[in-house]
Amino acid sequence: MIRDYFSNLSQRYASKWLVFCIDLTIVLITLFSAYLIRFNFTLNFDTQQFFVQLPFMAIVAATSFLVVGSHKSVIRHTGFTDVVNVFKSVVLIATIASVGVFINRTTSLMPSFTIPFSIIVIHSLLSFVALAGSRLIFKLGYNYLKCKFKTSKNILIYGAGDSGIITYNALLNGTDKSFNIINFIDDDIKKRGKLINGINIISSKEINEKFIRTNRIDEIIVASQTIEPKRLIKLVDSLIDLDVQVKKVPPIEKWIDGEFSANQIKQVQIEDLLGRPPIEIDNPNLINEFKGETIVVTGAAGSIGSELVNQLSKFDVKHLILIDQAESALYDVQQDLKRSGKHNFTAIVADIRDGLRIDIIFQYHKPTMVFHAAAYKHVPLMEKSPYEAIKINVNGTKLLADTASRYNVKKFVFVSTDKAVNPTSVMGATKRMAEMYISCLQKESKTKFITTRFGNVLGSNGSVIPLFKKQIEEGGPLTLTHKDITRYFMTIPEASQLVLEAGTMGKGGEIFIFDMGECVKIYDLAKNMIKLSGLRYPEDIDIRITGLRPGEKLYEELLANGENTLSTYHKKIMISKTRDLDYEKVKASIEELCITNRFQSNNIVMKMKQLIPEYKSNNSDYERFDKRVQIYKKVKGISEEKSSKTYGNL
């Protein structure tokens, strides 16, 4: 056991003591070299006196190395700090030696012992050059052998700023892989043509197919923290047909403990290709808004709901009540909160369609705010089940809103969708009805009812991104309903932040819409996902067009016909200016629809079309009812203008 202990001890400390011995040897050799230089490369000096000086300098050098600790650095990762430590050691050697010689001369303790000060100066210079140079030579030799005996990748680093240099050092110092940095890329005219550690800085305009093939480039690593999304998209598109991977250095705030390593470099994510900068919220009012509040989040286990919970948990809330009917997913959210040290929450398995259950929850916990994210959202499935869509999206919202109003909840924030605008599907129509009911309830309630409306959320349950990822893993093809289909996208954190911000600024009755940038062509998104997976389109994975699904739009809208917006203090959030509704009639019609026509899909859809004038089915069996609704209006003598005034064209 003792033998094992010393064996482990030797393995742990052998490297630094070897460096210590080598450094000590270098110091003694440079002392001899200093004499040679001082005496014109002859031995015309007192060699007997020299051999007396050697042990003195050995003791001084050993003491200096132990004090500074320059021998403890990992030589193959030598950097500027290590060179500074070598310099400190050399200065300390010269200082101790000079002081020792001076004291000896003044006190005559050893009259026969002395070292010329010129020798000390020459020795210091030689020692620093030799110690630093030996480390540099070892590092270069190590990197050369590593590249020679390990498979290396040819790399271009996009960005010649601080982040690019840090990335360069991280790649060279990585031990598990070998990288050969070919060039830095930077479009700053002042940097172009200059060198970083002997590596040339070139313009992005020089990156073409010929350059990539000539230099056998394997990867381009985007180290720039300020690259515009459009520039990144252009870069990915330009390499779409070449066997080159594009990777990205994460933002500095995501570096582990402020340190960056090569392992943190990841593939460019599809979120990076939205064509707009990330939406960021930095509103100190949010802290005061949620401080001390008891907040209910419905759909708390869903994509948006769980992120709302995550972000709300970071505020000084009094209590969070998480409601969802999916027990397994709710359990996962519960465990995530516990692991992050949060305990001021209650996870409740409940169905928002159960009015009595919801009433009991409100009665017991007395919430002051509600974020309602529970909903059925899959368009094709809801097209087949209008009754279920009504139960959750309309009746569930109605029961929850009524309960919130009855218990005088301060704010009720409803998460809607852009599919509620000029709906072409049952799902979109039900969300529009829920918006209308909330608008009606606002007129008679003390609760501030606020609606937020945004498009598709990247990575959310049932969205196109997880589907494409799964299809890529299975070898394809990727299925796309139409080559020209477009969608607005935002990330889950962005959507949740905007919901919280809108909830803060809402005064009651508003429909907030979010600026989601330019719409994204799904066909281009599919090709980029194939490319980012290291595959080629169509050689490795093809894209198959399947045709629009029932109720699906070719493009989404954030505003309906005749709508316009009012600006807010946040440039990404606007308020939709809507037409007035005949609130009593609309509210009564929605209440009637929630309790009648069970399981009778045709009757449900007919009533929805009568209630929502702009609801026109697309690629659906219910298209035949659009003509019937027009006939119904003519028989009843209801003009389009009158219909819009009654129900509101939103």
Position 119, amino acid: I
- Is residue 117 located within the same domain as residue 258? no
- pLDDT score of 263: 62
User: Residue 555 pLDDT > 80, yes or no?
Assistant: no
Q: Is 520 helix (H, G, I), strand (E, B) or coil?
A: strand
Q: Is there a single domain that holds both residue 260 and residue 354? A: no
pLDDT of residue 596: 65
Q: How many CB atoms lie within 10 A of CB 512?
A: 25
Which of 268, 302, 317 delimits the end of a domain? Answer: 268
The average pLDDT across 446-474 equals 80
Q: ∠ CA 271-277-278 to the nearest 5 degrees?
A: 60
> Which residues are 451's β-sheet partners?
414, 511
Q: What is the predicted pLDDT for the residue at 415?
A: 93
**CATH number for 196:** 3.40.50.720
- Pair 381, 408 in one domain: yes
Are 242 and 331 within one domain?
A: no
Q: What is the identity of the amino acid at 609?
A: K
Q: What pLDDT is recorded for position 317?
A: 93
Q: Find which of 137-151, 293-307, 484-498 is predicted with most confidence, using mean pLDDT.
A: 293-307
Least reliable range by pLDDT among 19-28, 93-102, 452-461, 518-527? 452-461
Residue 517: how many other CB atoms lie within 10 Å: 16
User: Which residues does residue 199 pair with via DSSP β-bridges, in sequence order?
Assistant: 196
With H, G, I as helix, E, B as strand and everything else as coil, classify residue 454: coil
> 355-377: string of b/e by CB count within 10 Å (b at 16+)?
bebbeebbeebebbbbbbbbbbb
Task: Please say if the pLDDT value at position 380 is more than 50.
Answer: yes
Q: Which of 143, 172, 205 is the last residue of a domain?
A: 143
Q: Say yes or no: 402 and 319 in one domain.
A: yes
pLDDT for the residue numbered 411 = 95
pLDDT band at 643 (very low <50, low <70, confident <90, very high): very low
Residue 547 within any structural domain of the chain: no
**470 assigned to some structural domain:** no
Instruction: Please name which of 158, 152, 144, 248 lies closest in space to residue 205, comparing C-alpha atoms.
Output: 158
pLDDT-derived band at 493, boundaries 50, 70, 90? confident
User: Residue 544: its pLDDT value, please?
Assistant: 92
DSSP-assigned states of every residue in 67-95: HH-GGGS-GGG--HHHHHHHHHHHHHHHH
The answer on pLDDT for 320 being more than 90 is yes
Confidence check: pLDDT of 5 > 60:
no
pLDDT of residue 143: 67
Looking at the domain assignment, is residue 157 inside a domain?
A: yes
Q: Give the span between the Cα atoms of 384 and 423, in whole angstroms.
A: 16
Residue 297 shares a structural domain with residue 353: yes
By CB atoms closer than 10 A (0-12, 13-18, 19+), residue 484 is exposed
This prediction has a pTM of 0.66
At residue 65, the pLDDT reads 85
User: Does residue 538 have a cis peptide bond before it, meaning omega lies within 30 degrees of 0?
Assistant: yes
The SS3 of residue 411 is strand
- % of the chain surpassing 90 pLDDT: 21
Tell me: do 203 and 132 sit in the same domain.
no
Given 143, 174, 196, which residue is the final one in a domain? 143
Residues 440 and 326 in one domain: yes
Placement of tokens 């630093």 in the chain: 132
What pLDDT score was predicted for residue 325?
Answer: 93
Name which of 27-31, 308-312, 367-371, 483-487 the model is least confident about. 483-487
Task: Respond yes or no on whether the N-terminal peptide bond of residue 386 is cis (omega within 30° of 0).
Answer: no
Sign, CA torsion 561/564/568/571: positive
Which pLDDT value is given to residue 647?
46
pLDDT by residue (tens digit) across 227-239? 776 677 677 767 6
Round the CA-based radius of gyration of the chain to a whole number and report it: 36
Is residue 277 a part of any domain in this protein? no
408 and 447 together in one domain? yes
Any idea which residue has 């330019």 for tokens? 518
Distance in angstroms (rounded) separating the CA atoms of residues 352 and 400: 7
Q: Residue 256 has what pLDDT?
A: 54
Task: Determine whether 446 is an active site residue.
Answer: no
Q: Which of 169-183, 346-360, 492-506 has the lowest mean pLDDT?
A: 169-183
Which secondary structure element, helix H or strand E, spans residue 201, and what is its range? strand 199-202
Q: What is the pLDDT of residue 86?
A: 86
**Same structural domain, 139 and 154:** no
Catalytic residue (one of 191, 419, 553, 607): 419
Same domain, 253 and 399: no
Domain carrying residue 107: 2-143
Sheet (strand 245-248) strand order: 195-196, 199-202, 178-185, 152-158, 219-222, 245-248, 266-267
- Identify the top-confidence range among 413-422, 483-492, 544-553: 413-422
What pLDDT was estimated at residue 559?
Answer: 54
Residue 121 lies in a domain: yes
pLDDT in tens, 570-624: 777 888 766 566 777 887 888 888 776 565 778 888 888 888 888 888 888 888 8
φ, ψ of residue 291 to 5 degrees: the values are -65, 125
The pair of structure tokens assigned to 172 is 């060279």
Task: Please state the domain count of the chain.
Answer: 3
- Residue 503 within a domain: yes
Burial of residue 281, with CB atoms counted within 10 A of its CB: 0-12 exposed, 13-18 middle, 19 or more buried: middle
187-191, 312-316, 422-426, 456-460: which has the minimum mean pLDDT? Answer: 456-460
H-run or E-run covering 34: helix 2-38
How many alpha carbons lie under 13 Å from residue 123 in its C-beta half-sphere? Answer: 28
In a domain, 134, yes or no: yes
The residue among 405 and 474 whose pLDDT is bigger is 405
Report the pLDDT value the prediction gives residue 7, as an integer from 0 to 100: 46
Q: Which pLDDT does position 375 carry in this prediction?
A: 93
Judged against a pLDDT cut of 50, whether residue 641 lies above it is answered with no
Across the chain, mean pLDDT equals 81
Please indicate, yes or no, whether residues 18 and 68 belong to a single structural domain of this protein. yes
Q: Is the pLDDT of residue 140 over 80?
A: no
Mention every residue, 6+ apart, whose C-beta is less than 8 A from residue 357.
350, 351
Count of Cβ atoms closer than 10 Å to residue 52 Cβ: 15
Summarised one tens digit per residue, pLDDT across range 502-542 is 888 888 888 888 777 677 788 888 887 787 776 778 788 89
Domain-embedded: residue 634: no
